[in-house]
Amino acid sequence: MLNYNKFNKSVLFICLSLTGGLSFAADSDDPIRQRIQADQTIRQQQRDSALEKQIQPDVNVNLGQEQNKISAQQLQYLRSNSETPCFEIKKILLEGEEAHQFISDFNVITTGKNNIIGRCLGVNGLNQALDLVQNKIIANGYVTTRVLLPQQNIASGTVRVRVIPGRVDQIKFAEGTSKRAHLWNALPMKSGELLNIRDMEQGLENFKRVPTVEADFKIQPAEQKKESGYSDVVLAWQQAKPYRLHLGIDDSGSEATGKYQGTATLSLDHVLTLNDLFYISYNHDLGGGNSGKHGTDGFYASYTIPFDYWLFSTSYSRSNYLQTVAGSSETYQYSGKSELINADLSRVIYRDAHRKTALGFGGWYRESQNYINDVEIEVQRRKTAGWKATLDHVEYFSNATLNGNVTYKRGTGWLNAMRAPEEDFGEAYTHVGILQANASLQVPFKVGQQNLQYLAEWRTQHSNQPLTPQDRFSIGNRYTVRGFDGEQTLLADNGFLVRNELSGSIMNKPHSWYAGIDYGEVGGKTAHYPNPLPGTSLLGAVIGLRGQIAPLRLNYDAFVGAPLKKPDHFETDDYTTGFSVNWTY
């Protein structure tokens, strides 16, 4: 909890100083007020991030491909020389247009255990070898490309293999599709190109990123071109409606600025008919918390548009807060406002049947001011800007999905960004690098007839230099280490957290229970200087219920948590409860 006596003295000191026209350095700036402002900024960013995941969930499409089944006995037969009649294979000669593009796929039968060069094979053995090649081609996404053995005499040892490339002829929508559907910026394939299922997966992701859109592909024999290998790609596209309205209420706020929070969000899906997504959101406190005048509100807007394997997104957020602190002879109102602008451009650089990798680059600009009784505390004014590079990866396993992200951020002097006053004393820096990483693992499984899921999340941050409070790593609330009321958090330059959650459906209904244990640590210079934290680690637990009430269009989440381990002087309730209810139209 906040030390209000120290806070009041510092408030009075700065007010008198401002009246005298003095300018103060970082060590005159009360760290409690800095943490109040940082807590509000970080809390709003966490709310915005949670909202973005709800409004614009990640979409990963993995179509899978049907391959020729080859048994262990067939492989053993292929590796033996038992077929009669058989001929020693000396060379493989590829025939057909674009055959050179598939040379590497034949390595599966020219190297390693399945190498057929120098072996004595008959027709059956050669066909099994070509099944291996065919599977390799399909695994690389060329699902309509075929390899076959033309009529020939293989007694010479030279085997001719014909490659029939699978190409795209027409790309069209199914009959009756709305005229609002557009392909040009969503599907990275053109008529006449080799048909690759990876391009279709990317296209489906671009379509389905808009939550109100359902889309699917069919590959059909070409209607116009009669040459072998050509196919038509037919897209079924349907949009339920071009907008969504979300209304939500939760108790994620703080006692100082309003415990209960309400949110209204309007989403315009496929707004420019470019498979784009735009939404705006406004949140405001609904009461609860400490006595006295207080409150918080925020505005968030986001726009996302794909271009084949590229994705551009930008967002803007603004937030304000106000809290009242009663002094010995006067009541003080402490308030602040902040703005954040982000812009990001990313590209999928690799994808196959088991994984996907994307690289991104972006920039940001952030500005904040703080006030006491409507008088700005100029020493707390912040203007920061910088760039960031990201690496995203998704790995698909047979029954699990692993998501990972690494981000490197660096502050700069762009857009008239200001140095932090703390830099004069070596206490904090803004023009430094910050390395952030996170990963999540989802594993669904069954125990008897019970559907269960294990979810593990890991996040970390590291910087070689001390950071200003807004850039530090925070733990101790429902968005980080659960089981704590969030009124006090641990905030430092570096840190990591691990969240473990087991959930299960209730009677196969759209309701589920969940239980979690979370752990987090913080560290770095600011954990110990100039104002040491009461400790550096937290361990908490949570149990809850979440689900949908479809007739009422409601989603809900309710939980109770408790701290399992905390520093001695870290103040939090013995147990904490929380809820959120969202109505969607």
Share of the chain above pLDDT 70, in %: 91
| Residue 85 phi, psi (nearest 5) | -70, 155
DSSP 109-144: GTSGGG--TT-EE-HHHHHHHHHHHHHHHHHTT-TT
DSSP 370-385: EEETTEE-GGG-EEEE
pLDDT of residue 484: 97
d(CA 320, CA 370): 10
pLDDT of residue 205: 96
> Which residues have a Cβ under 8 Å from the Cβ of 576 and sit 6 or more positions away?
483, 484, 485, 486, 560, 561, 562
Q: Does residue 408 have a pLDDT over 90?
A: yes
What is the mean pLDDT of the segment spanning 338-355? 96
Instruction: List the chain domain ranges.
Output: 72-140+142-163, 167-239
> Is-above-0.95 flag for pTM?
no
Q: Is 37 left (phi over 0), alpha (psi -120 to 50) or beta?
A: alpha
> Which residues have a Cβ under 8 Å from the Cβ of 557 and sit 6 or more positions away?
544, 545, 546, 578, 579, 580
> Which residues have a Cβ under 8 Å from the Cβ of 226 and sit 6 or more positions away?
none
- The most confident of 171-185, 411-425, 472-486, by mean pLDDT: 472-486
Q: Does residue 29 have a pLDDT over 60?
A: no
Q: Does residue 22 have a pLDDT over 80?
A: no
Structural contact between residues 105 and 137, judged by C-beta atoms closer than 8 angstroms? yes
Contacts 24+ apart (CB under 8 A), 122-131: 122/83, 122/84, 122/85, 122/86, 122/87, 123/149, 124/77, 124/83, 125/77, 125/78, 125/83, 125/86, 126/89, 126/154, 126/159, 128/70, 128/74, 128/75, 128/77, 128/78, 129/78, 130/161, 131/68, 131/70
Q: Does residue 11 have a pLDDT over 60?
A: no
What is the mean pLDDT of the segment spanning 521-529? 94
Structural contact between residues 571 and 1, judged by C-beta atoms closer than 8 angstroms? yes
Q: Does residue 77 have a pLDDT over 90?
A: no
Fold match between 72-140+142-163 and 167-239? yes
Structural contact between residues 512 and 506, judged by C-beta atoms closer than 8 angstroms? yes
Q: Does residue 37 have a pLDDT over 90?
A: no
d(CA 515, CA 569): 27
d(CA 425, CA 530): 11
d(CA 304, CA 443): 29
The class level of CATH for 167-239 reads: alpha beta
Rg (CA), the chain: 30
Share of the chain above pLDDT 90, in %: 74
Q: Please indicate whether residue 501 or residue 151 has the higher confidence score (pLDDT).
A: 501
What is the mean pLDDT of the segment spanning 520-528? 95
pLDDT of residue 577: 97
Q: Are strands 433-447 and 450-462 parallel, antiparallel or unpaired?
A: antiparallel
pLDDT of residue 576: 97
**Residue 313: how many CB atoms within 10 A of its CB?**
20
Q: Does residue 433 have a pLDDT over 90?
A: yes
Residue 36 carries which side chain, given as an amino acid letter?
I
CATH topology of domain 72-140+142-163: Ubiquitin-like (UB roll) (3.10.20)
Q: Does residue 131 have a pLDDT over 60?
A: yes
Q: Does residue 134 have a pLDDT over 60?
A: yes
pLDDT of residue 76: 62
Reading the block at residue 13, the tokens are: 């000191």
Short-list 338, 301, 576, 585, CA closest to 470 = 338
Helix (H, G, I), strand (E, B) or coil at 290: coil
pLDDT of residue 225: 85
Q: What is the mean pLDDT of the chain?
A: 90
Reported confidence tier of residue 74, pLDDT bands at 50, 70, 90: low
